[in-house]
Amino acid sequence: MITTSVTVDERAIESIKMRLGSMEKKAPQVIANSLNRAMSSVAKAVNEELRKNYHIKTSDIKPTITRTRAKRSDVNAVLKSSGPVVPLDRFKVSPKTVNPKRKSPIKVAVKKGAAKPLGGAFNADINGIKVFKRSSKKRLPIERLFGPSVPQMLNREDIRNRIDVTGQKMFNKRIDHEIERILAKGAGT
């Protein structure tokens, strides 16, 4: 399981209270709204980064992600990714057809780039086309092949850094917007 969160330190909280002035009691709401918006952009960044680096579909990423929203009483927003390994047939497999007499190995690409031959692997149509490999010299048993899980893909340092930067930027941008909104509402009454 991988978790992502945006950090709010004491200096930031004091700065927000100072900027709000007489409405400093609204600081938790400002932080909660900003965190929730930042987590939405983090979820979008997770999808974009994984699709940019791996041959994976959004439909395989979304079910692994859960978000906890921030509230006034609990200014904590967390995005978690947990899930099982993704079957190899969900990535780029070439060719995808079943051919028992195929002489050349099938090629698989999990990461973006050139596909690599997967010796001994074959496609079989068992409730849809899936990638298998024999576990011995005999015809049976066969085992289904799997790639990495979504949390494993997210665990790459360069991907994590880009996602964290996106979340922090959106948080800082939304803080300014929320403060301006509250001050404008307060000046209007």
Domain residue extents for the chain: 2-85+150-188, 87-148
> For the whole model, what pTM was predicted?
0.85
Q: What is the pLDDT of residue 8?
A: 78
Ramachandran angles phi, psi of 91, nearest 5°: -95, -165
Is the pLDDT assigned to residue 21 strictly greater than 90?
no
Q: How far is residue 127 from each of residues 67, 93, 131, 176, measured CA to CA in Å?
A: 32, 17, 12, 52
Q: What is the pLDDT of residue 42?
A: 93
Residues present in the chain in total: 189
Span 113-129, mean pLDDT?
Answer: 91
pLDDT in tens, 104-114: 899 999 999 88
Task: Enumerate long-range contacts of 42-47, CB under 8 Å, 24 or more apart.
Answer: 42/4, 42/6, 42/79, 42/163, 42/166, 42/167, 42/170, 43/67, 43/79, 45/162, 45/163, 45/166, 45/167, 46/4, 46/79, 46/81, 46/154, 46/163
Q: How many CA atoms lie within 13 A of 57 on its CB side?
A: 9
Q: What is the pLDDT of residue 188?
A: 58
Helix (H) or strand (E) holding 181: helix 157-188
Span 20-45, mean pLDDT?
Answer: 90
The model's confidence at residue 147, banded by pLDDT at 50, 70 and 90, is very high
Is the pLDDT assigned to residue 5 strictly greater than 80?
no
Q: How many CA atoms lie within 13 A of 15 on its CB side?
A: 9
Span 72-93, mean pLDDT?
Answer: 92
Q: What is the pLDDT of residue 131?
A: 94
Among 6-10, 53-57, 139-143, the minimum mean pLDDT is found in 6-10
Please report, in angstroms and rounded to a whole number, the separation of the first and last CA atoms in the chain.
47
Distance CA 107, CA 109 (A): 7
pLDDT in tens, 36-66: 999 999 999 999 999 999 999 999 999 999 9
Q: What is the pLDDT of residue 187?
A: 62
